[in-house]
Amino acid sequence: MKPHYLTSLFSPRNVAVIGASDTPGSIGQAVFANLLAANFQGKLFPVNLRRQVVGGVAAVATVNQIEEPIELAVVVTAIRSLPSILKECGKKGVKAVLLSKQFADSERLESEVMYEVQAIARQFGIRILGPNTLGLMRPAIGFNASNYGGKVRPGNLALVSQSSALCTAMLDWADSKGIGFSSVISVGEALDISFGEVLDYLVADNFTQGILLHVHHIQDARRFMSALRAAARTKPVVVIKSGRYEDAVTGVTHSSHLVASGDVFDAALARAGVLRVATIAQLFTAAKVLAANYRVEGKRLAIVTNGIGPGVLTADSAYDNGVELAVLTEPTMALLDGVLPRNWSRGNPVDIIGDASPARFRTAVKACLDDAHVDGVMVIFTPQAGTDHLLTAQLMIGLQRESSKPLLLSWLGDAKVSASRELFSKAKCAHFRAPEYGVEVFRNLAAYQRNQQLLLQTPGPLDEGRADPDVARARKVIVAALAAERTVLSERESKEVLAAFHIPVNPTKLASNVEEAVSLASEITYPVVLKIDSPDIIYKSDVGGVELNISNEATLRTAFDAIMRRTHQMRPDARIDGISVQPMRKRRFAREVMVGVTHDQAFGPVITFGAGGIAVEVMQDRALALPPLNDYLVNSMIAQTRIGRLLGPFKHLPAVDLDELAGVLLHVSEMVCELPELLEMDINPLVADEQGVIALDARIIVRPMPADYQRYAHMAIMPYPSHMVVCAKLTDGTPVMVRPIRPEDADMQQAFVRNLSEESRYNRYLSSIKQLSQSTLVRFTQLDYDREMALAMTCQVDSGSEMLAVARFVTDPDNEACEFALEVADQWQSKGVGVVLMSALFDAAREQGLKVMHGEVLAGNKGMLKLMRKLNFKVEPHPEDRALMMVAKVL
């Protein structure tokens, strides 16, 4: 495989340090000294206008005077010199530049210079890390291009941080705990290279087993989410965020008022399959545990102890952390009853009594580990008469090796149990001085497992099992409102949009005067509801604009006049279109919920669900998720809320129709995907009971979209592109389907590769592999459908669906071109497969706004080269490798 395009930054062979110095206390001196002290295996070239020798190494005045090619230039000079330095680097052929210095110049000067630097970098194809960054460290290869003055140990964790100050604090903390790193990357202001591309490199980095991320703000949510999801599929990622309460969610609806930006960030990380923590200590602890392959299948914890006091305190901690205490099965209880003293606790926590022998500990812990209702075990040892801490510790180490479930160990005390703690450390067991820290780790393991399940969900924009929405009808309503320079749809308009997406609504008719209201009420039949209709009033109840359960004409006339009077008193400036008349829905067993949409500045649309009614902001009962949604994600949202517990059978109330309720959330997801103009929405209340659901009130806020808007560009997570699914016929008449690959295609993709001939596998992968590695298989089948696309051609055979070919592309960093690959099963070659599949791939690339598709083909692969020429690719020899041909096509 080709080296990653950021290899010149992360693993350079020749490095120039522009501004290298011997002046004590200077950044130039610190950076160059660190590079020398780290025992860098490449060549270092100090560049200094005034000195001929720096740090004992011969220096030159400019980078152009260096005879050898330079891959990376570390620049530590004043800001005003950057444009001229970038031009010199460009002419020299430098691939990457690290702007290590912290600039203290005026904001205006920095902005002007950086704009010029960006333009020069684009002109010469230079990638930039920084400015205002601590630097870049790769301890595993002896590379330290930073001004950090402390010690950094080599290890298997990568640390990526936006803050230089926080980065130095984390490095100092890590060194005191003996934690090492494969890479330390301070991205600074991310003028060019940001989180997305750094994560992309770390995914392929063999030195990195886990990734730690400090985030303050996100510039490109789509790129961030895409890279984060790709990383989390193969390596554990743990995130700590600063600025949690800097609110990026603004709006006028209840849905917006209920959501904080920190909540949206949590929801985004959950969908990305990563773990978020609150403290630096949690960051490193979680990363170490995950990198050591500790995993759980759920959140049910068993506690085994020889002291009921510590056991109950640990149970309290579990409750506080949202960890479920496991309910032991009857066989486990029977086993424990037969081997434990008669006065054992007979429940969880499992108190095996103070004088517990090592064998008693082992028996109880083994029984809990073997219980199907237990996902992990917390073992708490207290040194009492008759106990043996060291032998018990040895037995626990043996049990951990036998079980795939995590065993969390807490030997209470200090000097008496120190030998056991040393034993645990040598065996790399998860042990804690206090059990509550172990509970915290178990909670994080359970959250990580849940988030990994969320990561696997790849819903499309439209729910395949339900009727297609009338998108044109909904858009017509929105376009009309925007043409009238209105962004707030009336209740009638909002309900029409909902109805277009098959969401049941309470019909609404507008009366401009009381006589029309009387006539409409007669048509509808009493009882009815009256509501003020005004584009300036979002919450009708706030102005006394709602009257319920009107049973006759006389009451209606009184209510109509009262609503108008109250509204004029409280909002004399409001435009009033009239009063709407609706049927009064009386449902004995109804629960009121709210479904909404809000907008986050970074992550775009967010869907909310929770308790409904007029007190929603007081109740604060809501769950949220980034669209698109599917059944799994919808059910997960409902389960997170308090109202969700009341939707099943409850006292005299029958269960609500959960399928219908879930259907509303799925339809709202469809709305968010297909209507980018939709900015905010409240469906409140949405009444749900055993008969189904109905929206009694709704309000939608819209916005105009730019003319050059690309489909789904408003979303942080690209939906599964179901519109790319097409049916076709091969030249021999075989019916086939072309569709984007899904995660569940992993087995079919692996079988496809295994069944290729050795020649075909070599032509595709440039190696003699027999099958794909697990990490490659994950990368090939779990896509973001944005930076990368893979289309599979399948046909139906007696045994099910068979994969005939796969074509894929990955977008280049410039977002204008992409690199493609194509593989066709041997028995399906020369049947028109390549033409059909590549044509679909061209369409997918054009839809992403890409202009050029390119690739590399073995010179001996005559069949592929023939196809390339047939598809109007330009074919020419590779300038660096005679065994390869370069192919490119303008899209």
pLDDT digits (tens, 9 = 90+) for 815-832: 889 999 999 999 999 999
What is the mean predicted confidence (pLDDT) over 212-216?
92
Torsion angle in degrees (nearest 10) through CA of 327, 350, 358, 360: -80
User: What span, in angstroms and rounded, lies between the C-alpha atoms of 17 and 29?
Assistant: 10
The confidence score (pLDDT) of residue 104 equals 56
The token pair at 306 is: 């020889």
Cα–chain-centroid distance for residue 665?
A: 20
Torsion angle in degrees (nearest 10) through CA of 563, 566, 569, 575: -30
User: What span, in angstroms and rounded, lies between the C-alpha atoms of 365 and 293?
Assistant: 20
pLDDT in tens, 118-152: 999 999 999 999 888 999 999 988 999 999 999 99
User: What span, in angstroms and rounded, lies between the C-alpha atoms of 263 and 603?
Assistant: 11
The confidence score (pLDDT) of residue 464 equals 65
Number of H helices, E strands in the chain: 28, 38
User: What span, in angstroms and rounded, lies between the C-alpha atoms of 853 and 458?
Assistant: 26
**∠83-86-92 over CA atoms, to 5°?**
145
Q: Residue 566's pLDDT band (boundaries 50, 70, 90)? A: very high
Q: Pairing relation of β-strands 678-689 and 591-600?
A: antiparallel
Q: E strands of 478-589, at which residues?
A: 509-511, 528-533, 546-550, 578-583
* Percent of the chain topping pLDDT 70: 96
The confidence score (pLDDT) of residue 102 equals 65
pLDDT > 60? residue 584: yes
User: What span, in angstroms and rounded, lies between the C-alpha atoms of 137 and 184?
Assistant: 5
The confidence score (pLDDT) of residue 243 equals 76
Residue 646 DSSP class: G
Cβ–Cβ < 8 Å for 318, 348: no
The confidence score (pLDDT) of residue 773 equals 86
What is the mean predicted confidence (pLDDT) over 630-635?
94
User: What span, in angstroms and rounded, lies between the C-alpha atoms of 227 and 233?
Assistant: 10
pLDDT in tens, 402-447: 999 999 999 999 989 999 999 999 998 999 999 999 999 999 999 9
The confidence score (pLDDT) of residue 178 equals 85
Q: Which residue has the higher pLDDT, 293 or 831?
A: 831
User: What span, in angstroms and rounded, lies between the C-alpha atoms of 477 and 255?
Assistant: 22
What is the mean predicted confidence (pLDDT) over 62-76?
95
Is the C-alpha dihedral spanning 229, 230, 236, 237 positive or negative?
Answer: negative
pLDDT > 80? residue 83: yes
User: What span, in angstroms and rounded, lies between the C-alpha atoms of 122 and 131?
Assistant: 16
Which amino acid does the sequence have at 742? R
pTM exceeds cut of 0.95:
no
What is the mean predicted confidence (pLDDT) over 549-560?
95
Whole-number average pLDDT of the chain: 91
Residue 653 DSSP class: B
User: What span, in angstroms and rounded, lies between the C-alpha atoms of 559 and 59?
Assistant: 89
User: What span, in angstroms and rounded, lies between the C-alpha atoms of 242 and 49?
Assistant: 40
Cβ–Cβ < 8 Å for 140, 40: no
pLDDT in tens, 380-398: 999 999 899 999 999 999 9
**Secondary-structure percent of the chain, ordered helix, strand, coil, rounded to 5:** 40, 25, 35
User: What span, in angstroms and rounded, lies between the C-alpha atoms of 328 and 368?
Assistant: 8
Q: Residue 615's pLDDT band (boundaries 50, 70, 90)? A: low
The confidence score (pLDDT) of residue 253 equals 60
pLDDT in tens, 5-37: 899 999 999 999 999 999 999 999 999 999 999
Out of 162-176, 238-252, 851-865, least confident range: 238-252
Q: Which helix (H) or strand (E) covers residue 7, if one does?
A: helix 7-10
DSSP alpha helix (H) spans, 212-307 = 221-232, 254-257, 261-271, 280-291
The token pair at 890 is: 């303008």
Q: Which helix (H) or strand (E) covers residue 135, if one does?
A: strand 135-138
pLDDT > 70? residue 246: no
Torsion angle in degrees (nearest 10) through CA of 855, 860, 864, 866: 110
pLDDT in tens, 526-540: 999 999 999 888 888
pLDDT > 60? residue 465: yes
The confidence score (pLDDT) of residue 535 equals 85
